[in-house]
Structure 1
Amino acid sequence: MAGMGTLLVSLSGLTDGDDADRARAVAFAAELDRRGVPLTHLVQPRAAGVHPLRRGDDLVRWIAGRIGAGDDLLLHGYDHTADPVGAWQNGSVPRIGRRTEFGALPRHEAMLRLTAARRILTATGLSADGFAPPGWIASAGTVEALPELGFTLCADEATVRSTMAGGPILRARVLTFRSSEPWLRAERATGGRRTLAQQALRLSRRTGVVRIGLRAKDLRKPHRVEAALDAIDAARGAGAVGSVYRAALPASAAAA
């Protein structure tokens, strides 16, 4: 599918959001529906200070309904905190912050977190065999742990790859509204919103894969929603077809 031009749109951060965030997500998903573009939901099953996701929660029901209509889900960490699940508090492993929960974990600790996250997710009736690490950064230990636990796909900052040894890799950098993004700094300097669309158009023509990653808090800013939709429209205009991460790799590699 990547050879045709592929557009991948993801949304994270709803687990620790509120009803207003969910309403904005529903509205954004409706805009994608009008464009024929599915959404990949990045779900952390537990948020710090918030009860874990539970079967029957409004958010769980909405995501399940979206998946039934063509969306998909990737596991997006456990709780996004820097505190460990296991006993590695001897200082040998650096903690690099909430947004990069899996960015420095050894294999054993990654397995503990992944197992705990999957247990909660499964209890809700949802499931995932693909992983997108918080901050889009996965340590070598995390990458090693994924196939051992049955995960078939990992989407990081610069690639979408099969977890199988020698499996296919799509090289495409995810476009986000993180403050470190060079394009976002340029957009602030010019005062325009077209920079993201220009980036999407360039990537569509150069690599054939456009990845746009949004957070729930991005949807709180109308100009970011407009910028994302402009970029989606630009990619579609260049021939990119909306897809989900699971379908971006060959079926033989992405199948569970």
Structure 2
Amino acid sequence: MRAQLIVSVSGIRDTTRAAAAAFAEEMDRRDVRLSLLVAPRLKGKYRLADDPRTQDWLRSRRESGDAIVLHGYDQAATKRRRAEFAALPEHEARLRLMAADRVMEGVGLRTRLFAAPRWTASEGAIAALPDVGFRVALSLTAIHDLERDVAQRGWVHGIGEGFRAEPWWCHAMVMSAARTARRAGLLRLAISAAQLNRSAPRQAVLDAVDLALFHEAVPDVYRWEPFAAARAA
């Protein structure tokens, strides 16, 4: 049995697109597809709908095999010191999800995959996801198929966006990722695009990917297969 490798990049916007694109080229050379975590709005009044160059890049990456994952609406804290969806009741979560879904559809990047900012979603947010059409919820510890009500266990090994980025953390992440790959587990690597501009975090993820591939991990992306496709397979 071989490990499964999923690599994700978050925080993609006008100011981080170049770093994300350079990292994507590194992954292309390794035949590793990416899962791209995208939010319609970000700090500094950023709006994906007003950024056609990033839209074009994301669409081209999806056409080449990358996955698009909704990563919140605007990532604003809804309670002090809590991530956007971490404490929302179902009704408020549904409104934010519907707004985000409309934007993503409008720019041609609609997805049925959802990862809450900092990988933390309240019970209300999880309950609202199927009503808005989402089929997979990604948490810190598992991949949840909402339609089948099953989960695949696997921790996120991350740098940035809620995870630390100091050299000691990068080293520990690489070692932990290598152990997961050796044990043929599900290895989920995540880095924020802002951290890709820093040599140590970027190199740590590259090292973790290379070690996983050395241990014959199979690259994949976050995905959801409809029932009909699963039966046909």
Say whether residues 1:214 and 2:191 are aligned partners.
yes
What corresponds to 2:168 in structure 1? 187
* Distance in 1 (alpha carbons) for counterparts of 2:173 and 2:105: 36
Corresponding residue of 1:175: 157
Decide which of 138, 141, 144 is 1:155's aligned counterpart. 138
Is 1:103 matched with 2:56? no
RMSD over aligned Cα atoms: 2.4
Note the alpha carbon deviations across 1:12-34, whole angstroms, 9 max, x for none: 1113x51xx21111110000000
1:31 is aligned to: 26
- Pair 1:252 & 2:227 matched: yes
Shift of 1:105: 0.4
Runs of at least 5 residues in structure 2 that lack an aligned partner in the other structure: none
Q: Is the 8 A contact 1:162 1:253 kept in 2?
A: no
C-alpha distance in 2 between matches for 1:179 and 1:214: 8
* Contact in 2 for aligned 1:56/1:124 (Cα 8 Å): no
What CA distance in whole angstroms lies between the structure 2 residues aligned with 1:179 and 1:157? 12
1:147 counterpart SS class = helix
Matches within 5 A, 1:222-241: 222-241=199-218
Correspondence list, 1:14-163, <5 A: 14-15=12-13, 17-18=14-15, 21-54=16-49, 57-83=52-78, 95-97=79-81, 100-163=83-146
Is contact 2:113-2:135 (8 Å) kept?
yes
- How far 1:151 sits from its partner (Å)? 0.5
Which whole-Å deviations, capped at 9, do the CAs of 1:99-142 have from their partners, x for residues lacking one? x1000000000000000001111111111101000010010001
Q: Which amino acid aligns with 1:160?
A: I
Do the aligned residues in 2 keep the contact of 1:197 with 1:227 (CA within 8 Å)? yes
Q: Which has the higher strand share?
A: 2
CA change 1:129–1:162 in 2 (3 A) is same
Counterpart AA for 2:5: L
C-alpha distance in structure 2 between counterparts of 1:70 and 1:120, whole Å: 22
CA distance in 1, matches of 2:174, 2:29: 18
State the AA in 2 paired with 1:175. H
C-alpha distance in 2 between matches for 1:76 and 1:179: 12
Deviation at 1:149, TM superposition (A): 1.3
Shift in Å at residue 219 of structure 1? 0.6
Distance, in Å, in 2 between the alignment partners of 1:46 and 1:179 is 15
Relative distance call for 1:51 and 1:115 in structure 2 (3 A) is: same
Match of 2:11 in 1: 13
**Deviation of the 1:65 alpha carbon:** 0.2
User: Structure 1: where are the runs of 5+ without partners?
Assistant: 84-94
Give percent identity, aligned residues only: 37
Report the CA distance between 1:49 and its aligned residue: 3.6
Partners of 2:119 and 2:172 lie apart in 1 by: 22
Using the size of structure 1 for normalisation, the TM-score is 0.82
Distance 1:180 1:43, change over 3 A: closer
In the alignment, the residues of structure 2 paired with residue 43 and residue 65 of structure 1 have an alpha-carbon distance, to the nearest angstrom, of 14
1:54 is aligned with what amino acid? A
Question: Which whole-Å CA distance do the structure 2 matches of 1:223 and 1:186 have between them?
Answer: 7
- CA change 1:176–1:253 in 2 (3 A) is farther
